[in-house]
Amino acid sequence: MNSDRIEPREGVATNRSQLAEQLFVVKEAARILNIKTWKLARAVRNGSVPSYTFFNSRRLVKLSEIQEIIERTRRGAPL
């Protein structure tokens, strides 16, 4: 299995660099990044993870921003 390929929902990009800049609902982003949905939703609610809302009430997130926050916390940097 190629490590650069993941299984997103149908009709979206399939390599990590393309996925990183797309917007996903919290549940889908959590599934792709293999993290708990409730943890990501809580981080979005408290402002630790930036989110975007356009024409409906769904909060959207960028995988690249979530991954950057995860890496910063692994290095011990504050959020």
Write out pLDDT tens, residues 36-47: 999 999 999 999
Q: Is residue 34 part of a domain?
A: yes
- pLDDT tens digits for range 14-69: 566 666 678 999 999 999 999 999 999 999 999 999 999 988 788 999 999 999 99
| One-letter amino acid for residue 62 of the chain | K
Q: How far apart are the first and last CA of the chain?
A: 33
Q: Which two tokens stand for residue 48?
A: 């630790």
Global pTM exceeds 0.75: no
Tally of domains within the chain: 1
Give the pLDDT confidence score for residue 75 in this predicted structure: 85
Q: Is residue 9 part of a domain?
A: no
Q: Is residue 31 part of a domain?
A: yes
Q: Where are the beta strands (DSSP E) in 2-79?
A: 23-25, 60-62
Domain assignment of residue 52, given as a range: 16-74
Give the pLDDT confidence score for residue 2 in this predicted structure: 46
**In the predicted model, is pLDDT for residue 77 greater than 50?**
yes
**In the predicted model, is pLDDT for residue 9 greater than 90?**
no
Give the separation between CA 1 and CA 46, rounded to whole angstroms. 36
What's 69's domain CATH number? Answer: 1.10.1660
